[in-house]
Structure 1
Amino acid sequence: MKKDNKTLYLITTPMNWTQAQTYCRYNHTDLASGLNQVDGEEMKALFAGRVMSVWIGLFRDSWRWSDGSDFSFRYWDMELFNDEQSNKTCAMTLLNRSGKWSSDECANKKPFFCYDDKIIPIKENKTWEEALNYCENNYKGLVSITNPEVQRWVQETAKNADSPYVWIGLSYKCTLGLWLWVSDYVVCYEKWATGGKTEGCDMSVGVDRGGQHEWFSRRNNETYNFICSKQ
């Protein structure tokens, strides 16, 4: 099931929580995490009426998501989440009963939800070249924003960055005298900030974390978070 730029998968092979996390991180992106994924109605739509409890990516370390998503949202089933349950350390969603959450011992085996994300935020500060090498070694490359849909994905991701900008895969090529994506696409879609475009041999593009999440020329040796692409 697709939701925004993410695809949700139900894995029916029972595993404990740690095994499920490892499986999701190896085969997809991570266990389903955060409000934009852990939505009871979205999940129940994958089921065709079956009743079961399924691991999600929430574990007890002051309760935080496997992929680092913000945990300001709560959807506990309070009839089940009593004192005994609250001492258990991994969270599950209760499908076709309430769609809400409860907890269980992490060693118990259950089906689980993974998700795939087309873009991967990296909360490490690197120069543009370092970010480029990281994405090429671990994913496909730095993200190329070729249409408004990808821009929207990047905007949502940039909001949670630890730096004032996030690097994307656009840099100025002196030999050609033009801006070019690392994916070799020429720039058709663009969202430059007013006065934010400066051409130079050592310039690449960062997306503003705040404001309108527009594009700004930044020097390659500055260090920011960055966004990789998986496809």
Structure 2
Amino acid sequence: MNLHHLLLLLISGLWSPSSARLRYYYLVTEPKTWVQAQSYCRQKYTDLATVDNMAEMEELKGFIPPGFSDSIWIGLKRGPMRLWGWSSGEVLQYTNWNPGEPNGVVTDRCCLKAGGCLKCRHTQNLCLCLEPLGKFVLVKIASNWRDAETYCWQYYTNLATIHSDQEQQDVWDLLTDSDIVWIGLGFDNWLWSDGSKTTFRYWHPGQPYSATDDGNCAMVSTSWGGDWDDTACNGVMSFMCYKAPIKRGIIRLKVTSGGEMDPNDPVVMTNILTQIQQTLRKQGVGSDTTLTWQMRKGKVFSLEKTKEEQQKCSSLNSAISQT
């Protein structure tokens, strides 16, 4: 096995880009535009605030002092493409559209009826919530999508997220032929500054909307109790940064040189670090990850005898003791 394959195997087993992430939020009250705020957060912290789910949104609101009246930038900005995603923040991996859907008509939210998923906008439907243990609950209260989402947040966990044909069947078993229910599937073109794939949104009812069509950046509106609004990115206001906790770990490497190189040669060690960093980048690890060698007795690598060499030494010692 060559060096490159050995490194790739070890790192794949030790690092998972999809592992849970924690964030510490920091409110900065120095007014800046969205781009200026983004630059400041990246220099001082990690980035403008990303929010993965309702629990993080409640945590973020907890950092806003009582009586604070300024709006607050977060790291959400319009992108070039519209994508479907779950309101829980999960990445979309399963769909079951009606024939011909989605048909390209611009709609924001998805509703479900027996037979598949329809697209709806600003209509009154029943809502399908998800309990903490994953059980679907049909709530027979007609509402718009945002009110349905709020109801599910308040009394359950979220609007329904469907991951498989079996879960889809479980939902259909709850519905009559005439029932149409909201689920947590939405469609938008908003992207997070740090590249996060979460599709969680917390818009105020009727938002995002801009009469001048320049509302390309998202903010937390304190006048709306923390709901999100869209506005022009060149406005100035306070902003929320986040900092990811520093994670430290030790990766142990076994390098076979065949006697052709010294692993403790500084040039060789630099090349090994470069290969590790390139592999980490391919797996989605950010550029703020740093790698350093851990030295023992002045060296990074220590010689480890192969099993064959150990057997030879054992045989030699045995022969010496017999003489």
The TM-score normalised by the length of structure 1 is 0.51
What secondary structure, in the 3-state scheme, does the structure 1 residue paired with 2:241 have? strand
> Does the Cα contact within 8 Å between 2:210 and 2:230 map onto a contact in 1?
no
One-letter code aligned to 2:50: S
2:77 alignment partner in structure 1: 59
1:114 alignment partner in structure 2: 241
Q: Any gaps of 5 or more consecutive residues in structure 1?
A: 120-142, 146-168, 176-203, 205-218
Kindly provide the CA deviation profile for residues 76-108 of structure 1, in whole angstroms up to 9, marking residues without a partner as x. Answer: 112453352764111001136321111111110
1:84 alignment partner in structure 2: 211
Q: Any gaps of 5 or more consecutive residues in structure 2?
A: 1-20, 80-188, 257-271, 292-323
**Of Structure 1 and Structure 2, which has the larger fraction of its residues in helix?**
2
Task: Give the greater-gyration-radius structure (CA).
Answer: 2
Compared with structure 1, are the counterparts of its residues 23 and 170 closer, same or farther at alpha carbon in structure 2 (3 Å cutoff)?
same
Q: Does 1:46 align with 2:173?
A: no
Compared with structure 1, are the counterparts of its residues 222 and 93 closer, same or farther at alpha carbon in structure 2 (3 Å cutoff)?
closer
One-letter code aligned to 1:30: D
Q: Does 1:24 align with 2:41?
A: yes
Please list, as runs of the form range in 1=range in 2, the aligned pairs for 1:143-222 lying within 5 A after superposition: 144-145=248-249, 169-172=250-253
Report how many aligned residue pairs link the two structures.
140
Q: RMSD between aligned alpha carbons?
A: 3.5
Q: Does 1:103 align with 2:230?
A: yes
Give the whole-Å Cα distance in 2 for the aligned partners of 1:31 and 1:74: 15
Ranked by relative contact order (alpha carbons within 8 Å, sequence separation 6 or more), the top structure is 2
1:14 alignment partner in structure 2: 31
With 20-29 and 41-50 compared, the bigger mean Cα shift is at 41-50
The TM-score normalised by the length of structure 2 is 0.37
* TM-aligned CA deviation for residue 26 of structure 1: 0.7
One-letter code aligned to 1:89: N
Runs ≥4 residues deviating over 6 A? 219-222
> Does the Cα contact within 8 Å between 1:10 and 1:111 map onto a contact in 2?
yes
Compared with structure 1, are the counterparts of its residues 16 and 45 closer, same or farther at alpha carbon in structure 2 (3 Å cutoff)?
same
Give the whole-Å Cα distance in 2 for the aligned partners of 1:103 and 1:222: 37
> Does the Cα contact within 8 Å between 1:44 and 1:95 map onto a contact in 2?
no
One-letter code aligned to 1:225: Q
Kindly provide the CA deviation profile for residues 38-78 of structure 1, in whole angstroms up to 9, marking residues without a partner as x. Answer: 94422222223223310000111121000011142221112
One-letter code aligned to 2:23: K
**Of Structure 1 and Structure 2, which has the larger fraction of its residues in strand?**
1
Q: Does 1:75 align with 2:93?
A: no
Give percent identity, aligned residues only.
35
What secondary structure, in the 3-state scheme, does the structure 1 residue paired with 2:230 have? strand
